[in-house]
Amino acid sequence: MGAQLSAHLEMANKTGVFTLQDKGILKVPPEVERLQAKLRTIDVSGNRLTALPDFLGGFTVLRQVTLDRNRFAEFPICLTKMPRLEVLSIESCGLKVLPEAIGDCPSLKRLVLDGNALASLPATIGKLVKLEALSVVGNQLTALPDEIGDLTISELNVSRNQLASLPASLARNQSLKIIKADENCLEDGSIPLVVFGDSSICSVTLEGNPFNSKKIRETPEYERVSVVAGV
């Protein structure tokens, strides 16, 4: 791994991109710290990481971090100390809690948390004022916080959760165009009509939910929205 790591570090020093995927590493190599002023992208997917080193919080030019398919018992707080972080992906890592500190990522534009075990999202997620897309597919969410309506995201993907309703606050976000909420527990009346009547939403997918799809298509508020709701 020594010679291979040296090659990765040399390339990262030239390009600003450090990738070390599917190597089975248990920790981020300490040698990465010397690239603090240069790294814009880190991808350490497919390893056995359970934590990130604190020094990563000092990477002030880092814009994209991909941590998919690792083993984080807790959300790495150092990620919230990166002032320019725009894209964060933590798929299939076994996360059970998203901390309130997630709201301290002022530059975040895309957040992907698919395939974890999250039962809720903190209210502070509404503080991510630059967020454009949020994906929380395949978790254990039973509700979304009202503060999600404070976001200016254009796309929300909450498919394959346990949601029994969608909050009326989504109508506050006039940037929201696409909602994907397939395979949840949404029944008749569980989606406030204001979400569609008073919003900019143009596309909604709701397949695999236990409601009357014919009834939803016949509701006037849905007429201007492309609704895919199964048979």
Report if residue 138 sits inside a domain.
Answer: yes
User: SS3 helix, strand, coil % of the chain, rounded to 5?
Assistant: 25, 15, 60
Domain that holds residue 91: 2-175
Residue 217 pLDDT exceeds 70: no
Residue 224 pLDDT exceeds 80: no
Higher pLDDT, 26 or 195: 26
Report if residue 223 sits inside a domain.
Answer: no
Supply the pLDDT for residue 189. Answer: 81
Report if residue 194 sits inside a domain.
Answer: no
Supply the pLDDT for residue 4. Answer: 80
Report if residue 212 sits inside a domain.
Answer: no
Question: What's the mean pLDDT in 76-86?
Answer: 96
Supply the pLDDT for residue 229. Answer: 74
Report if residue 210 sits inside a domain.
Answer: no
* Nearest alpha carbon to residue 183 among 206, 152, 215: 206
Spatial contact of 216 and 195, defined as CB atoms under 8 Å apart:
no
Question: What's the mean pLDDT in 157-177?
Answer: 94
Residue 213 pLDDT exceeds 90: no
The two three-digit tokens of residue 65, written as one number = 């971090």
- With the C-alpha atoms ordered 28, 49, 116, 57, is the resulting torsion angle positive or negative? negative
Give the chain's domain count.
1
Give the whole-number percent of the chain exceeding pLDDT 90: 76
Report if residue 181 sits inside a domain.
Answer: no
111 beta partners: 88, 134
CATH number at residue 167: 3.80.10.10
Number of neighbours of residue 8 by Cβ within 10 angstroms: 19
Supply the pLDDT for residue 3. Answer: 67
Question: What's the mean pLDDT in 39-60?
Answer: 96
Supply the pLDDT for residue 54. Answer: 95
pTM recorded for the entire structure:
0.92
pLDDT in tens, 89-115: 999 999 999 999 999 999 999 999 999
Report if residue 160 sits inside a domain.
Answer: yes
Report if residue 228 sits inside a domain.
Answer: no
